[in-house]
Each structure stands twice: as C-alpha cells, then as structure tokens.
C-alpha cells in the first residue's frame, strides 16, 4: 500500500476576477468553451473532464511568474485572438498573457505536450482529430504512456 496519495491530475483552476460577466466576455473573445454553469459570484467554463472557474473578488496584485497553462488546439490562433482582445502579451519562448485582472496564463498547444485527453473525452468535445507531434509521442512512449 502506498504511503502517500498519488497526484492524478487537475480537476479545475480558479481565477479571481473583478467582474465575472466581464471575464466571460474577455475569455469568450479568445476561447471556445461551454459555460458549465454559474453559482453566486462564480462561472464554470467546461473543458471536457476539467473546468476553469472565474470567481469574483480579485484581491492580490498582478501575478509575476505564478501562472497556469491552458491547453488549446491552435496556439497561433489563440495569439491572434488575444492580440485582438487587447490582452497583455508577455515575452518569453511561449505564449504567456496577463488577463485584465492580473492573472498570468500560459497557452500551450495540445499536439506539443505529454498532456493527453482520453479518446472518449476528445470525441465528446468534438476534437477527435487532435494528434500529438512526434516529439510528444516519444516523450509519452518513454514514460510507458503511449
């Protein structure tokens, strides 16, 4: 029997924003998502078997290096839409931006990562055509995951 609980994944991330409706409008200009629901001052953006929470009540200064990564089907399309939405794009080798409430978000492309959705989840999301790059497939294979 294991002595520690094993990390399996992330169920959700909660972002603090000043106004949930404004945050839904901002994120909706860039990302295609289903609204899972709302409760009080929170909105839940569906990402298949995971979700992103937008919670009203931002209380801290803008994030410096603290961030989380959102996985997308097309990072360059996300870049163009972030520029059009007026997001603050941050330097670096990837695509990092700060939303209007100071949350730092990194956008990464599904094909380039070890992160993998189950085929049934991809199909349910209408994304069954997504594939992994040769590099990502090799990384998964080396871990016994692909």
- Give the residue among 128, 127, 115, 96 at the shortest CA–CA distance from 32: 127
Residue ranges of domains in the chain, CATH in brackets: 12-142 (3.10.180.10)
Maximum Cα interatomic distance, the chain, rounded to a whole number of Å: 52
Q: Which residues contact 33 (CB under 8 A, 6 or more apart)?
A: 27, 45, 46, 47, 52
Q: What does pTM read for this prediction?
A: 0.91
Residue 13's Cβ-count burial label (10 Å; 0-12, 13-18, 19+) is middle
Whether 1 has a pLDDT exceeding 70, the answer reads no
Name the average pLDDT for the chain: 94
- Residues 23-42 have pLDDT tens digits of 999 999 999 999 999 999 99
DSSP assignment of 64-112: SS--EEEEES-HHHHHHHHHHTT-EEE-SSSEEEE-TTS-EEEEEEGGG
- Residues 52-100 have pLDDT tens digits of 999 999 998 988 889 999 999 999 999 999 999 999 999 877 899 999 9
- Residues 124-142 have pLDDT tens digits of 999 999 999 999 999 999 9
């Amino acid at each position: 029997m294991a002595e520690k609980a094993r990390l399996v994944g992330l169920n959700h991330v909660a972002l603090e924003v000043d106004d949930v409706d404004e945050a839904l409008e901002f994120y909706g200009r860039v990302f295609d998502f289903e609204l899972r629901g709302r409760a009080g001052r929170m909105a839940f953006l569906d990402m298949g078997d995971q979700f992103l929470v937008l919670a009203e009540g931002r209380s801290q200064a803008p994030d410096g290096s603290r961030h989380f990564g959102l996985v997308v089907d097309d990072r360059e399309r996300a870049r163009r839409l972030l520029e059009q939405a007026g997001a603050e794009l941050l330097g670096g080798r990837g695509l990092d931006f700060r939303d209007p409430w100071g949350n730092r978000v990194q956008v990464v492309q599904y094909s380039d990562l070890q992160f993998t959705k189950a085929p049934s989840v991809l199909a349910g999301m209408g994304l069954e055509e997504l594939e992994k790059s040769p590099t990502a497939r090799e990384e998964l294979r080396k871990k016994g995951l692909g």
